[in-house]
Amino acid sequence: MTPQASFRASCGALVLAAGGGSRFVGTTHKLLVEIAGKPVVRHVLEAVAASGVSPIIVVTGAVSLEEVLTTPLPGNPDVVVTHNDRWRSGMASSLQCGLVVARQRGLAGVVVGLGDQPGVPASAWRQVADTDAPIAVATYHGVRRNPVRIHAELWDQLPHDGDEGARTLIRVRPELVAEVACQGNADDIDTADDVARWQQRLANQGEH
């Protein structure tokens, strides 16, 4: 086993998909809106599955993802869905909810990403998982975004409340952070306009 494969084998993925999506105006939760024939969150989960990072811990809250996960993900990775009853309190509680599962599984690290970023490819999840720094942050054109890998030794230093996840720790412990240059696009989908932009982007890609 290569060193990179070893890091990945001891590392799980943690997909935060619990928020209410309050900025999205529509009859469907933003994670379930279809882009190119698939719900937004399905794009994210398929990218994680293709990366080889497993188990995939999915934290739900405002909306059930049961239908999205009815069809197995590529490669049949180990998927654990956990519900955050405190999802209204912010991202930190969802992160902590997922870490409960990570501790139960004895993982050495987790790669944390968001369920509303369908442009983050499998390669980004894989590269971040393969980095042995205590904290590894994906960058796109030099800008820090998701996903972020956090070593288990630092989990106790992550916030329990509020709407920040790893960002607080990154700010406090910059000497532990390694940047990982990635391909892709980590833009969130927050509004109907964001969905329209993604649809147009994919349509343009299909023309080339």
| Class of the CATH-defined domain 3-207 | alpha beta
Burial label, 133 (beta-carbon count in 10 A; 0-12, 13-18, 19+): middle
pLDDT band at 8 (very low <50, low <70, confident <90, very high): low
Distance CA 122, CA 50 (A): 6
Q: What's the whole-number average pLDDT of the chain?
A: 90
Using one digit for the tens of pLDDT, what is the confidence trace for 79-137? Answer: 999 999 999 999 999 999 999 999 999 999 999 999 999 999 999 999 999 998 999 99
Q: Could you tell me if 79 and 69 are in contact, meaning their C-beta atoms sit under 8 angstroms apart?
A: yes
